[in-house]
Homo-oligomer: A and B are copies of this chain.
Amino acid sequence: MPGFSCGLDATLKVIAGKWKPLIIYFLLEAPNRYGELKRAVRGVSDKVLIQQLKELESDGIVVRTDYREVPPRVDYSLTALGRSLADALAPLSNWGAEHMEEVARVFAERDKWRRG
Residues of A within 8 A of B (CB): 1, 3-14, 21-22, 25, 42, 58-60, 81, 84-85, 87-100, 102-104, 106-107, 109-111
Residue of B nearest to A100 (CB): B10
Return the chain B residue nearest A8 by Cβ: B93
B8 and A25 within 8 A (CB): yes
Q: How far is the CB of A59 from chain B (nearest CB, A)?
A: 5
State the oligomeric state as a number of copies: 2
Contact A100 B12, CB 8 Å, known A88-B94, A92-B89, A111-B1? no
| Given A91-B87, A94-B88: A103 and B42 interface contact (C-beta under 8 Å) | no
Q: A11 to B92: give the CA distance in the assembly, Å.
A: 6
The verdict on A7 contacting B88 (CB below 8 Å), with A81-B102, A110-B58 known, is no
A104 and B7 contact, CB distance less than 8 A: no
Q: Using CB atoms, name the residue of chain B closest to A111.
A: B1
